[in-house]
Structure 1
């Protein structure tokens, strides 16, 4: 079976759990990027609570979809 998924820089742990059940994994490369999505954001737990992490876009705020 093949799993088709989008690209994420720090995916949810459930994606790793589910992907172990598949023999092939395909990353969708032609999907349209959506601003303010989970693909460039994540939260981790630090010593002082939750830390929000994000990857800035190359074009910054002026990037057009």
Structure 2
């Protein structure tokens, strides 16, 4: 068993799938994330991957912030 080194912070990617590339830009503005690239995944229900710089997040994390 080998231990793989932790990725450098600059190498971390936060990926979220959407239906339209414009949604990537909306997430970038709304969450103050820096968009790294947009990747097309033909044949999947959500054909666009928005790839942002930084640690992976979950929208469920944000959801709990808005509940009373």
Structures share a fold, TM > 0.5?
no
Q: What is the TM-score with the length of structure 2 in the denominator?
A: 0.23
Larger strand percent? 1
Larger helix percent? 2
Q: Tell me: higher relative CO, structure 1 or 2? Use CA pairs within 8 A at least 6 residues apart.
A: 2
